[in-house]
Chain A
Amino acid sequence: MPIEISLKTVDREITRKIKEISGEPLTKCMQCGTCSGLCPMEESGDISPRGLIHLVNLGQKDLVIKAEFSWLCASCYRCELRCPRGLDIPKIVEAIRLLKLRLNEDYVKPFEIEEERIYELPQIAMVSSFRKHTA
Chain B
Amino acid sequence: MKLGYYPGCTLKTKAKNLEDSAIESMKALGIELIELDRWNCCGAVYSLADDDLVHILAPVRDLIRARDQGFDKVVVLCSMCYNTLARANLLMREDEVKRDALNNFMEEENDYKGEVEVVHYLEVLRDEIGWDKLAEMVKNPLTDWKIAPYYGCTLTRPATISIDEGLSHTIFDDFIKAIGAESVSWDEAETCCGSYQIIANPEAASKTVSMIVTSAKAKAADILALSCPLCEYNVGRRQADLLSEDSDPLPTFYFTQLLAMALGLDDKVSRMELNTPQARDWLKAKELVSEAV
Q: Give chain A's interface residues, CB within 8 Å of chain B.
A: 20-23, 40-41, 43-45, 71-72, 74-78, 80-81, 88, 90-91, 94-95, 98, 107-108, 113, 117, 120-129, 131-133
Contact = CB atoms under 8 A, between A and B. Distances in A.
Given A74-B192, A125-B196, A131 B43 contact: yes
A117 B153 CA distance: 24
Nearest to B203: A44
Given A127-B43, A133-B196, 12 more contacts: A45-B204, A71-B201, A81-B167, A108-B199, A121-B198, A121-B233, A122-B10, A122-B229, A124-B10, A124-B44, A127-B44, A133-B200
Given A21-B51, A77-B157, A122-B230, A128 B44 contact: yes
B251 interface: no
A77 B158 contact: yes
25 contacts: A20-B51, A21-B50, A40-B208, A44-B204, A44-B207, A74-B153, A74-B205, A76-B157, A76-B192, A81-B158, A91-B48, A94-B48, A95-B49, A121-B14, A122-B15, A123-B41, A123-B44, A124-B8, A125-B198, A126-B199, A128-B195, A129-B196, A132-B196, A133-B196, A133-B200
- Of B191, B199, B207, B232, chain A has the most CB atoms within 10 Å of the CB of B199
Interface in B182-200: 190-192, 194-200
Closest 7 CB pairs of A and B: A23-B50, A76-B192, A44-B204, A77-B157, A94-B48, A128-B196, A127-B44
Contacts of B191: 40, 78
Contacts of A125: 196, 198-199, 230, 233
A81 B159 contact: yes
Nearest to B80: A124
Contacts of A23: 50
B95 to A, nearest CB: 11
- Of B13, B15, B157, B203, chain A has the most CB atoms within 10 Å of the CB of B157
Interface of B: 8-10, 13-15, 41, 43-45, 48-52, 55, 78, 80-81, 153, 157-159, 167, 190-192, 194-201, 203-205, 207-208, 211, 229-230, 232-233, 237
Contacts of B80: 124, 128
A88 B80 CA distance: 19
Contact of B200 (A88, A108, A121, A122): A108
Classify the secondary structure of B's interface with A. loop
B230 A81 contact: no
B49 A98 contact: yes
Contacts of B14: 121-123
A107 B200 contact: yes
Contact of B204 (A72, A95, A120, A128): A72
Nearest to B45: A128
A122 B205 CA distance: 15
A122 B159 CA distance: 26
B50 A20 contact: yes
A21 B233 contact: no
Nearest to B9: A123
B62 to A, nearest CB: 14
